[in-house]
A = this chain, B = another copy of it.
């Protein structure tokens, strides 16, 4: 911004955040230093704290401060159901629906051969071990409905079916509250095929 070493360092550090370019980083640094020093200190503490304490749950891979996360430890949950999601944010979205009471496995990514992300990187072996613990009856594939998410679901689905598990996928269809006129054709075609 003005050739100040610690300011330049801050702008460079902010640029490592996803979706933050030079202009945004400058604006963020300016905002924090000029208008929100308290916010800067808060972010320092929160970042240091999270970087030190947040790890992966040994059972489901999601972020947790403990060895096993609260969800996996919750005995009221239905351990016969295992829902596979890409990220903790996806898990959080499912939790907010309050429509699912089973357990989760969080891939922390998706298969993406073009980016060099293969089965090992998203812990598929660990998922297969987790899913064949003898308690899990049904695996619900809730990866995103993107090309990569679908491919990931396909690979996992085939592998788990061959191990004798019941595998289901979130239903594709018309989103609640939408008008058909504005829904893309692929979605309508799927909704038609999966009609009930």
- What residues of chain A have their CB less than 8 Å away from a CB belonging to chain B? 1-7, 9-10, 12-14, 16-19, 24, 26-34, 36-37, 39-51, 53-54, 62-65, 69-71, 87-89, 91-92, 95, 108-109
Q: Could you pull out 7 A-B pairs where Cβ atoms are within 8 angstroms?
A: A1-B91, A9-B45, A9-B49, A13-B47, A18-B31, A30-B87, A44-B51
Closest B residue to A26 by beta carbon equals B89
For A4, A32, A89, the residue with the greatest tally of chain B CB atoms inside 10 Å of its CB is: A4
Cβ of A34 to closest chain B Cβ, rounded Å: 6
Q: How far is the CA of A64 from the CA of B33 in the complex (A)?
A: 11
Determine the chain B residues whose CB is within 8 A of the CB of A41 once the complex forms: 48, 51
Q: Contact: A49 with B92, CB < 8 Å? A: no
Q: How far is the CA of A40 from the CA of B49 in the complex (A)?
A: 10
Choice from B34, B70, B108 contacting A3 with Cβ under 8 Å: B70
Determine the chain B residues whose CB is within 8 A of the CB of A51 once the complex forms: 32-33, 37, 40-41, 44
Determine the chain B residues whose CB is within 8 A of the CB of A24 once the complex forms: 19
Q: How far is the CA of A15 from the CA of B91 in the complex (A)?
A: 20
Q: Contact: A10 with B50, CB < 8 Å? A: yes
Given contacts A42-B13, A44-B44, contact A54 B89 (CB under 8 A): no
Closest B residue to A16 by beta carbon equals B39
Choice from B12, B33, B47, B88 contacting A54 with Cβ under 8 Å: B33
Q: Contact: A47 with B50, CB < 8 Å? A: no
Q: Contact: B18 with A43, CB < 8 Å? A: no
Q: A6-B65, A18-B28, A19-B27 are in contact. List 16 more A-B contacts (CB 8 A).
A: A1-B63, A3-B92, A6-B46, A7-B50, A9-B50, A10-B47, A10-B50, A13-B43, A14-B46, A16-B36, A16-B39, A26-B89, A32-B50, A41-B48, A41-B51, A44-B48
